[in-house]
Amino acid sequence: MTVNAQPQLRADNIDEVLKAMTLEEKAQMLIGGGNDSFVGSGAMLGHQKKLVAGAAGLTVAIPRLGIPATVVADGPAGVHIDATREGDPNSYAATGFPIGTCLASTWNTDLVRAVGESIGNETLEYGCDVILGPGLNLHRNPLCGRNFEYFSEDPLLTGKMAAAVTQGIQSQGVGVSGKHFAVNSQETDRTKVDERLSQRALRELYLRGFEILVREADPWTLMSSYNIINGTYAQGNKDMLSTILRDEWGFRGIVMTDWIGKRAKLPTEQEVQAGNDLMMPGYPDQAKDIVEAVKAGRLDIADVDRNVRRMLEYIVRTPRFRGYKFSNKPDLKAHAAITRQSSTEGMVLLKNNGVLPIRDLKTVALFGVNSYDFMSGGLGSGCVNVPYVVDMVTGLKNIGVSTTPQLTEIYQNYVKYAKAKLKADKNPMMWFLDQGQPKLDEIDITERCIAHEIGGADAAIITIGRQAGEGMDRQIEGEFCLTTQEKAMISRVSNAFRQQGKPVIVILNSGSVMETASWRDLADAILCAWQPGMEGGNAVADVLTGKANPSGKLTMTWPVSATDHPSTRNFPQEIDMYTFRNLQNWGTPIPGSDFTNHDEDIYVGYRYFDTFDREVAYPFGYGLSYTTFAYSKPQVKAAGDQVTVSVTVKNTGNVSGKEVAQVYVRAPKGKIEKPAHELKAFAKTRELKPGESQTLTMQIPLRHLASFDEAQSQWLAEAGTYSFGIGASSRDIRCNASLKLKEYTEKVNNVMAPQVKLNLLKQ
């Protein structure tokens, strides 16, 4: 027996360990283990080398009490760690899975759960304890630079996808960090901007996805966002991090901050009090602040103990604590297969005038630099260091389709040159370029060059790429819209090929929504392939040939113009690279962008376009198939606290395929203004053979029919007749049923009200 034995952490002695900790140790537990290359020019955010090189951060070890350090890595499209290590010949490349928007576009929660299992397995086998994802901020506006990491403009779809991927990841014995909690739907000035919005929009739209995630999937951790919400930093917001998250929703995990140091205008003790358990990446000053605040009586030790207890509860769940022997050898082959399958299901066929699926195709003229430098994912912390990316040349070759040799050579040489140049020119301030595959400039393809290609090709395929990422929002010109050069390329190729009766197919290799209305007539088919992960070229080929029948559906509205979204009016614009560099100081406010008023209120995405009857390029929920489906008359019943909707979907075409049935509910007129309709349930069929049918049964909790009634601080679904429209998009309702319902109410806390008067959009 040792004298003075220190308790060693176990799942059943947390109180004893807590008692044995000094105040300094407790403070240390609430601060991450640092980020060894965070400070200084050229530093990469979220990058440490101690336990798993390239993981974003660590929690602190206290060996005398048997508390190990744990490792957290980005997220969300796969495990973001360094692919190589100094003096080590092994590869640590991780699978690049489809970006969040592509996964959500599958509308297939079983598939997304399976993707989560693979991501979780790689997290485990590469020695990490938590993956920093899913990202589930709302697509408030198409210009947000990080939309690719997020799922949708709709909170139900967002929450269901986040829950499914989380269930998959956590089934492997590792945790997630749902991020960024909350209202982080813009990148510009993200560490300072005050997001001002009504309690209704906050509750119904921006928090709802997180609520579903917490209630349905018990995430181990959430990440509080950098921004301010209605005057209070998310990181120091007790109303959000404790009252709503824990008291109302029953969250049991830990909250960690997004990666930032001590905040200039937010006292460290306020973060502790608010229930922000862990400050990442962690700076010694923050631990000092905690100790001093306790000693000075500004911070109650009970608050510290509560957060430390949660940290210990988290630690005992981790593979590091269990002593799991990770292999560093996940089954990349198996994961590549699931990536390919999930990305084919997430691709959305926007247009097809009958040219797809392509038959008897032998040779293609392949235009656009991204045909040859296909983008697997986006930029910033959300990128993955992948072993390879299958480009379009390889994807087509793998199905026996060749590309015209001269054009292929021109582009391939150009890609080599442009990549070498980018490396040589590297601006040390542009750290984010190290984190992902930057978009290369297009080259000018002349009419003469196109004329040369036609003879040898059966069709033209043009890939248009768009890159976006952390720290910057997108511009309308040249990013949301095509560049002049791209427009010229599409129109020249289209003229030349269509004149000879040869089809022109456009592939969008973009993480986000693009402008299509002005040029779509020039293409025979348009496939939105997103950034579909490292098997991109293979997956596109699967869809083009019909090996996979497309069944992806848009998870956000594609507007005619970016300014059609009411939120564009107060979405920051014209933030150039110079301004971006200022952001590196994490403190310089950008003039005019220190607040964002959500004047559009609840009218985000289709809630706006369908209510105000505005034209769109492609509606929410839209996506074509190579077959057709018929919907039966639906059955709608209420029992207990839910409504059950069932509908039979039949494949009425000639090839097998899957369909997504989407339930849009129209509420009765009452005292609360309601959008024209809202997505309240969805389900995807299995692969149905021609003539085959499947009955889909979906549940809608009554509380999901409710709106947030600010006057009473309650959820309220008014009594009356509700109509349940089921269809293939928000603008393609195929059948209806209605049901009389009694009033439903649920009281909640009156918190997080805006501090300024907003000029809210009304019907």
Would you name the residues annotated as active-site residues? 258
Of 229 and 751, CB closest to ligand BGC = 229
Q: How far is the CB of 677 from ligand BGC (least distance, A)?
A: 33
DSSP secondary structure string, 363-390? EEEEESHHHHS---S-BSTT----S---
- Closest residue to ligand BGC in the complex (CB): 46
CA gyration radius for the chain? 26
Question: Cβ contacts of residue 428 below 8 Å, gap of 6+?
Answer: 41, 42
3-state DSSP assignment of residue 407: helix
Of 222 and 272, CB closest to ligand BGC = 222
Residues that bind ligand BGC in the complex, under the rule CB under 6 A: 45-46, 56, 74-75, 132, 179, 258-259, 381, 470
3-state DSSP assignment of residue 62: strand
Q: How far is the CB of 750 from ligand BGC (least distance, A)?
A: 30
Cis peptide before 134 (omega within 30 of 0): yes
Q: How far is the CB of 256 from ligand BGC (least distance, A)?
A: 9
Q: How far is the CB of 483 from ligand BGC (least distance, A)?
A: 28
| 10-13 contact pairs (CB < 8 A, 24+) | 10/66, 10/316, 11/316
Query: What phi and psi values does residue 340 have, to the nearest 5 degrees?
Result: -60, -45
SS3 sequence, 701-745?
EHHHHCEEECCCCEEEECCEEEEEEEECCCCCEEEEEEEEECCEE
Of 258 and 659, CB closest to ligand BGC = 258
Of 278 and 338, CB closest to ligand BGC = 278
Look up residue 146 and give its amino acid: R
Supply the angle between the helices 447-454 and 405-424 in degrees, to the nearest 10. Answer: 140
Give 589's DSSP letter: P
Q: What are the C-alpha distances in Å from 111 to residues 167, 217, 603? A: 12, 16, 30
Show the tokens assigned to 177.
């960090």
What's the N-to-C CA distance of the chain in angstroms?
A: 76
Show the tokens assigned to 175.
């945790």
DSSP secondary structure string, 550-606? -----SS-B-SSGGGSGGGGGS-----HHHHHHHTTT--PPTT-SEEE-TTTT--TH
Q: How far is the CB of 615 from ligand BGC (least distance, A)?
A: 35
Of 60 and 393, CB closest to ligand BGC = 60
Give yes or no for a contact between 151 and 104, defined as CB atoms under 8 angstroms apart.
yes
DSSP secondary structure string, 682-705? EEE---BPTT-EEEEEEEEEGGGG
Of 46 and 634, CB closest to ligand BGC = 46
Of 259 and 620, CB closest to ligand BGC = 259
Q: How far is the CB of 180 from ligand BGC (least distance, A)?
A: 6
Q: How far is the CB of 385 from ligand BGC (least distance, A)?
A: 13
Return d(Cα 729, Cα 345) in angstroms, integer: 16
Q: How far is the CB of 184 from ligand BGC (least distance, A)?
A: 8
DSSP secondary structure string, 83-109? S-BTTB--------PPPHHHHHTT--H
Q: How far is the CB of 255 from ligand BGC (least distance, A)?
A: 14
Give 139's DSSP letter: -
Of 258 and 269, CB closest to ligand BGC = 258
Give yes or no for a contact between 383 and 523, defined as CB atoms under 8 angstroms apart.
no
Of 56 and 698, CB closest to ligand BGC = 56
Q: Which helix (H) or strand (E) holds 432?
A: none
